[in-house]
Amino acid sequence: MRRLLALSSLTAALAAVAPGAAGQTETPPTFGPGVVGVADSGFVVAGGVPLTSGPWGTDYITVSHALRVGAQFAVLRDRFPYAETRPVAACSSQAHGIDVLILRALTHPNSPVIEWGDPAALRPGDEFYGFPRREIHPAPVKYRFVHMNYLEWSQLDRNRVSHQWHNTLVALGTSRPGFSGSPWVADGKVFGLHKGSTRLPGRPEHQLGESAVRIQQCLRDLGYEHLIPQN
């Protein structure tokens, strides 16, 4: 991770913007609520997004597989102070078949939050963007939607695939360490959170994401709404 951070300025300097029509450059997409960096011991190890906010602070949602057990995490968010967090709720791969963690920052009150999209609205070939935190990668990354369910797409035997991968979204594109937890965004809505990558024999690398629909269902199962402060 230290090597990644040391190279971030060089990566930014070398990153090229794809040329558009008539010599114009493509305008990089933006994402209103913004992506946060989840930091461990001062180093960004994953991305995340603001889930819920009020006078009490903000809850951020990320994926837990990229985070050390027992560590204390902070969030880095543009135009907000550095904030220590505490875990509020989690959906585990073992118990829920999905991997997300909610971290609460009490020093980020009344902040913009995300709007979820429904992955069922995506069709194979649809383009969307992943938004990694800039300490990991300097610009959004374009993806092409492939399938709603990794298990069906891979055509692998269910017993050969860990339960945590059965219902993940599949997209064509690239990633690097630290992309985990970054939002997959189309039309300003979050359709999933980056989970990992896979490379099956004879196929290019594909990216896997936790589905927004499954995330919301797990939060309902946990009774997350009752964990949100009322003032």
- Give me the tens of pLDDT residue by residue for the chain, a chain 231 residues long: 434 334 343 333 334 333 343 445 567 688 989 999 999 988 999 999 999 999 999 999 999 887 877 788 999 999 999 999 999 999 887 777 788 999 999 999 999 999 999 999 999 999 999 999 999 999 999 999 999 888 788 776 666 666 666 678 999 999 999 999 999 999 999 999 999 998 888 889 999 999 999 999 999 999 999 999 987
Name the token pair of 174. Answer: 């690239």
Q: What is the pLDDT of residue 161?
A: 62
Q: Does domain 36-113 have CATH number 2.40.10?
A: yes
Q: What is the pLDDT of residue 2?
A: 39
Q: What is the pLDDT of residue 99?
A: 87
Question: For the chain, which residues make up each domain, given as ranges?
Answer: 36-113, 119-216
Q: Within a 13 Å sphere around the CA of 215, how many CA atoms are in the beta-carbon half? A: 29
Assigned fold of 119-216? Thrombin, subunit H (2.40.10)
10 Å CB burial of residue 128 (0-12, 13-18, 19+) is buried
Q: Do domains 36-113 and 119-216 have the same CATH topology?
A: yes
Name the token pair of 77. Answer: 């968010």
Contact 36, 50 (CB under 8 A): yes
